[in-house]
Amino acid sequence: MSGSAVFEFAADELERATRLGRSAARGALRGALAQALFDPGRVTASQLRLVIERLLAPEIRRSGVEDADQVCRQLAARLASQHFEAAGPESPDEVFSRLIRR
Domain that includes residue 19, residue range: 5-100
> Quick one: pLDDT at residue 83?
84
Give me the average pLDDT of each 10-residue run along the chain (102 residues): 84 95 96 94 92 96 94 96 70 66 61
Q: What's the rounded Cα separation, in Å, for the pair 59 and 46?
A: 19
Q: What's the rounded Cα separation, in Å, for the pair 14 and 22?
A: 9
Number of folded domains in the chain? 1
Entry pTM: 0.80
Q: Please compute Rg for the chain using Cα positions.
A: 13
> Quick one: pLDDT at residue 86?
59
> Quick one: pLDDT at residue 97?
67
Q: What's the rounded Cα separation, in Å, for the pair 62 and 73?
A: 17
Residue 80 near residue 53 (C-beta atoms within 8 A): no
